[in-house]
Amino acid sequence: MLKLEARATPSRAMSLASPLLALALTVLIGIGLFIVLGKDPVRGLQMFFVEPLKSGYQLSELAMKAVPLVLIALGLAVCFRSNVWNIGAEGQFILGAIFAGGVAMQAGPDTARGFFVVVLLAGVVGGMVWAALTAGLRDGFNANEILVSLMLVYVADMLLSYLVYGPWKDPAGFNFPQTVTFAEATKVPRLFTGLRVHIGLVIALVMVAVFAVFLFRTYAGLKLQVGGLAPMAARYAGFSSRQALWTALLISGGMAGLAGALEAAGPLGQLTPHVPSGYGFAAIIVAFVGRLNPVGIVFSAILMSMFYIGGELAQSRMGLPKSITGVFQGLLLFALLACDTLIHHRIRWQRGARLTTVQREA
């Protein structure tokens, strides 16, 4: 029989191989799922892993969807490495979009072209404000940051609905719940003519380099990680757990807010009830599949973006439900959790004990 045996030390090789094994398991389970649904599994896998890479337009769409995932996951990596469990990045994403939208609606036809920078900064502030609520409740009342940050997602969603159905509704929008279209000066510049990928891609790549240096080459990053891995050692060294809490959550909230601002001032160009797109929750998977490493997060975000685009293609071309995207994301997460068991354990084959004379006679 198979038995899990604890390793003396965690396996570095399995730590690196676990995401690849999880992806392989996800593919195998996905094949079975397509067969159960009566769909061609080869065509189904093609929708997820081939079609998103076939043309320049598809690659630009892949990059556009990866940008918010990378930005949010970078902030979450800081939180999780600091042992601060921010599960509410989706709410911070929404508040970033709201703050950015509120500033963008103040612009007019004569506004300077660089005004989009102010819009993005407003999004960062919005995300930080929403994350500060979680930090304040955890710091002042010892509230559980998992529950607080998660519940604030629904508050943010309701706030967005109130604004687009109420005071911010476009009076010339035929009663649709949406704001006015933002002025051209507030929109994020696109990188290529005819493609939707915008300057957020450059920002995301710069942030990857910044966070790699911050986490692994600075004293401030060391303090955060020591506080997460060894709280007793951090206190002995004089590191402030309170400061680590606020720093991690404000960084994470700011990055989620920046992603929300890029989404509102980029492909959307206005606020609608559809601003919440699940990026904040998907970025949790991205962060863990990427091993909370900025470089790994890039590859993980690309994979998750392929799931988004593949789900849309499978819906339109194969008649599969929209939820197929979430199914693949969930499969990847649970497969990763299962494979991570092998980091601290190894599988051994153990022969069954020989039957005693009394057992054989019975």
Cα 175 to Cα 171: distance, rounded to the nearest angstrom:
7
Q: Coil, strand or helix: which one is 39?
A: coil
pLDDT for residue 354:
53
- 157 CB burial (10 A radius; 0-12, 13-18, 19+): middle
- Interior CA angle at 69 toward 65 and 71, to 5°? 120
Amino acid at 299: F
Tens digit of each residue's pLDDT (9 = 90 or more) over 28-67: 999 999 999 999 999 999 999 999 999 999 999 999 999 9
Record the pTM: 0.93
What integer pLDDT is reported at residue 240 of this predicted model? 84
Write the pLDDT tens digit of every residue in 61-96.
Answer: 999 999 999 999 999 999 999 999 999 999 999 999
Strands 2-6 and 345-349: antiparallel
pLDDT digits (tens, 9 = 90+) for 141-166: 999 999 999 999 999 999 999 999 99
Confidence band, pLDDT 50/70/90 cuts, at residue 4: confident
